[in-house]
Copies of this chain bind each other. A is one copy, B any other.
Amino acid sequence: MSKRNAILVAATQLFSRNGFQGTSMAQLSRLTDAARGTIFHHFTNKEDLFLNILKNVQENILTAFRHHKETTCYENGMEMVEGVVTFYLSLAGENEDQFLLLHRHYPYQMAETNPAFRSYLEAVYTCLLDIFEEGISIGILDGSVKAESPRNTAMVLFAMVDGVARFNTYNLYQAGSLYQDLITSCRKILAPGS
C-alpha cells in the first residue's frame, strides 16, 4: 500500500474515533510512520486530507450499492427494500470507521461553508434515498408496497435504519439485537392494508 493510502486509512480511523479537531498531525504521523512533512506533501492541508477521506467514503458507498444492485434481484419491491436495509447494515458493520465519520456532526458543519464537502455528502444521501425510493416505487407497481409519497417514505425509512445503526455506536445499550424488530417495522410501514 502506498504511503499516501496508508495516511488516508490511518486518518480515517483517527478522525472517526477522536474527531477531526481531536486529531493532531503529530498523532497521524506517529501512526503512519510518515514524517509530518510527508503528509503535507500529499495533502495541501488538514482540511484537504479530510476532504479526500470523504471522497473515499462517498466512492466506497456508491460503488458498493451499485454493485449490490447489479448482482442481486428481488421478487418484488418489498423484498428489495428489505434487502437494501440488510445490505446497508452489513456495509456499516464492515466499514465502521467510514460510517462513524458520517455519524459525527463535523462533516455537516463543514458542508455549511465548503461546497466540496456538501456535494460529497449530498451524493451519499441522494444515492441512499434513491435506492430506498426505487424499491418503494417498484413495490407500489407490483402491489407489495403501499405509500403515499415514495420519497418521504424513503426518508423516514432511512432515518429509522440509520438511527438504529447510530444507536449502536453510542455504546449505551447493547442494541445489536434490534435487526429483527427493524425489519418487522419496515414491513409494517410499507405493507399494503391487507
What residues make up the interface of A, taking CB atoms closer than 8 Å to B? 17-19, 21-22, 100, 103-106, 108-109, 111-112, 118, 121-122, 125, 148-149, 152-153, 155-160, 162-164, 166-167, 169-173, 175, 177-178, 181-182, 184-185, 188-189, 191, 193-194
Q: Please pick, from B108, B112, B156, B185, the residue contacting A182 in the complex, using a CB distance under 8 A.
A: B156
Q: Which residue of B lies closest to A180 (CB)?
A: B152
Closest to A122 in B: B172
Q: Are B19 and A170 in contact (CB under 8 A)?
A: no
**Contact status A153-B185, CB under 8 Å:** yes
Tell me if B105 and A171 are in contact (CB < 8 A): no
Known A-B contacts A19-B105, A21-B22, A103-B105; the reply to A155 vs B172 at CB < 8 A is: no
> For residue A178, which residues in chain B have a CB less than 8 angstroms away from its CB?
152, 155-156, 159
Given the interface pairs A159-B167, A181-B156, A185-B153, the reply to whether A172 lies near B21 with Cβ below 8 Å is no
Q: Which residue of B lies closest to A101 (CB)?
A: B105
Residues in chain B near residue A158, CB distance under 8 A: 163
19 contacts between A and B (CB under 8 A): A19-B106, A21-B21, A104-B105, A105-B105, A105-B169, A111-B171, A112-B171, A122-B172, A125-B170, A152-B178, A152-B181, A155-B164, A156-B160, A156-B178, A156-B181, A159-B159, A160-B160, A162-B163, A194-B194
